[in-house]
Amino acid sequence: MFEDDFVKMVKKLQKKIEYDEEQTYSKVVIKEYRNPINFGFLEHPNAVGVIKGPCSDTMKITLKIENGKIKDARFWTDGCGATLAAGNMLIKMVKGKTLQEANNVNPKQLIDTLEGLPKEHIHCALLAVNTLHKSIENYYKRK
């Protein structure tokens, strides 16, 4: 009997969480942070950038660059769902791009691709883009 009540309570709580998410975030943001396929680290990257954001989230982006193009990339963060979504989408946006094209990506483009972010999470897109730019900057410094 107790188990049935507990399972019901958990299901009810999960529905509330999902409802709250849907009221706060776009479907794209929810999809990206629930399935961050680009999360992790590349082995032997030739570009790395790490930045700690204003809300204490850290992001790290590793890049594999060949012939001036981003062949592969991964991101890691200890941040919230919005930061996960921003990192994952940003990597999707820059894979296959030249370094110049990737360096031209700005937070507004990322936010637009995510179909918006709540005001209190705009800094998540800024953190992702700044970390990408730092990775590219560090690549050029090493050359």
pTM for the complete prediction? Answer: 0.89
Residue 16: give its domain's CATH number: 3.90.1010.10
Q: How far apart are CA 47 and CA 83, in angstroms?
A: 21
pLDDT of residue 15: 87
The answer to whether the CB of 77 falls within 8 A of the CB of 93 is no
Residue 39's domain spans which residues? 2-142
pLDDT of residue 2: 67
The residue behind tokens 């850290």 is 58
pLDDT of residue 81: 93
Tell me how many domains the chain contains: 1
Question: Which amino acid appears at position 65 of this protein?
Answer: I
3-state secondary structure of 105: coil
What tens-digit pLDDT sequence spans the chain (143 residues)? 667 888 888 888 888 877 778 779 999 999 999 999 999 999 999 999 999 998 899 999 999 999 999 999 999 999 999 999 999 999 999 999 999 999 999 999 999 999 999 999 999 999 999 999 999 999 999 87
**Integer CA distances (angstroms), 95 to 8, 59, 89, 127, in order:** 43, 18, 10, 18
